[in-house]
């Protein structure tokens, strides 16, 4: 009987101590050091404070992006406790009539609408997947798939995002297409777009060629 109780206790303790995917329980990023595939080095654990586990979008100006959208990133760069966790967060605000242009990231996303109404479209070969989202709805956006957001409500629309990476690295299609030095005639041939349109877009997004 004593042995059984002991075993139950030991198993309980083993199950309780959550063996995760890393040796350390936490690793606040040392953002002054190099960033590698496994993330940043950790700052000394004894320097970590209560507030390091918390992050707030309040008071953050956000990053203005086209078209009438504001991004509030909460990646490892802004919230260093995400380092090595394989998750991060963010928030997006779409002003009235605004949209977030076609983009992708190397992380899957959960997009949870907290204000207003959005249509989110995921682009795939041969068809697009469109969803109308209102407050309380969320969408699963698989990593690397192109997608865009539109405010389809009457006021502002806001969504909270969770990503399956500490650093999701947004890739906006218009920047990758036009903010480069590929000659416009070449870009026209390989993208099937009119060369004048390409020149206008290159001028708009600071590309050359
Ligand atoms: C939003 O998406 C829904 C569902 O696909 C569609 O019926 C509606 O027309 C869309 N609204 C706008 C403004 O595009």
Instruction: Walk me through the domains of the chain, giving residue ranges and CATH numbers.
Output: 38-171 (2.60.120.10), 179-204 (no CATH)
99, 132, 148: which to mutate for ligand 1, most atoms within 8 A of CB?
Answer: 132
- Going 178 to 183 to 184 to 188, the CA torsion angle's sign is negative
Q: How far is the CA of 129 from the centre of ligand 1 (A)?
A: 11
Q: Output the CA 150–ligand 1 centroid distance in Å.
A: 10
* Nearest partner of 30 among 45, 47, 42, judged by Cα: 42
CA of 145 to the centre of ligand 1 (A): 20
Count CB-CB contacts under 10 A for residue 106: 14
**pLDDT above 70: residue 44:** yes
Measured by CA distance, the residue closest to atom 2 of ligand 1 is 132
In contact, 98 and 67? CB cutoff 8 Å? yes
Query: Ligand 1 center to residue 119 CA distance, Å?
Result: 6
Output 59 or 19, whichever has higher pLDDT: 59
Averaged pLDDT of the chain = 92
Give per-residue pLDDT as tens, 114-126.
999 999 999 999 9
Nearest C-alpha to atom 3 of ligand 1 is from which residue?
Answer: 132
CA–CA dist 82, 95 (Å, integer): 29
CB 90 within 8 A of CB 62: no
pLDDT for 14 beyond 70: no
39 torsion bin: left (phi>0), alpha (psi -120 to 50), beta (else): left
pLDDT at residue 16 is higher than 50: no
Report the chain's C-alpha Rg in angstroms. Answer: 22
Most distant CA pair in the chain, distance: 84
Burial 168-181 (b: 16+ CB within 10 A, else e): bebebeebebbeee
Average pLDDT over residues 93-116: 98
Determine whether the shortest distance from the Cβ of 115 to ligand 1 is under 6 A: no
**Ligand 1 test: best mutation among 113, 130, 148, most atoms within 8 Å of CB?**
130
- Say yes or no: CB of residue 119 within 6 Å of ligand 1: yes
Q: What is the CA(121)–ligand 1 centre distance, in A?
A: 10
Within 13 Å of residue 104, how many CA atoms lie on the same side as its CB?
A: 11
The answer to whether residue 82 scores a pLDDT higher than 80 is: yes
pLDDT over 60 at 12, yes or no = no
Q: Which residues are within 8 A (CB) of 55 and not within 5 positions of it... i.e. 6 or more apart?
A: 74, 78, 79, 81, 89
């Amino acid at each position: 009987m004593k042995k059984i109780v002991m075993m139950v206790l030991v198993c309980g303790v083993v199950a309780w101590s959550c063996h995760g995917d890393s040796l350390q329980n936490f690793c606040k990023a040392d953002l002054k050091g190099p960033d590698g595939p496994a993330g940043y080095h950790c700052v000394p654990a004894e320097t970590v404070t209560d507030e390091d586990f918390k992050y707030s979008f309040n008071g953050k100006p956000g990053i203005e992006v086209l078209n009438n959208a504001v991004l509030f990133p909460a990646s490892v760069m802004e919230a260093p406790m995400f380092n090595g966790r394989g998750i991060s967060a963010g928030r997006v605000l779409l002003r009235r009539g605004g949209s977030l242009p076609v983009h992708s990231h190397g992380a899957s996303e959960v997009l949870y609408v907290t204000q207003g109404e959005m249509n989110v479209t995921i682009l795939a070969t041969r068809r697009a997947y469109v969803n109308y989202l209102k407050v309380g709805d969320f969408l699963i956006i698989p990593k690397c798939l192109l997608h865009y957001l539109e405010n389809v409500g009457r006021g502002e629309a806001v969504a909270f995002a969770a990503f399956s990476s500490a650093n999701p690295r947004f890739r906006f299609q218009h920047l990758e297409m036009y903010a480069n030095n590929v000659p416009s005639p070449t870009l026209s041939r390989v993208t099937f777009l009119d060369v004048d349109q390409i020149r206008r877009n290159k001028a708009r997004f600071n590309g050359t060629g």
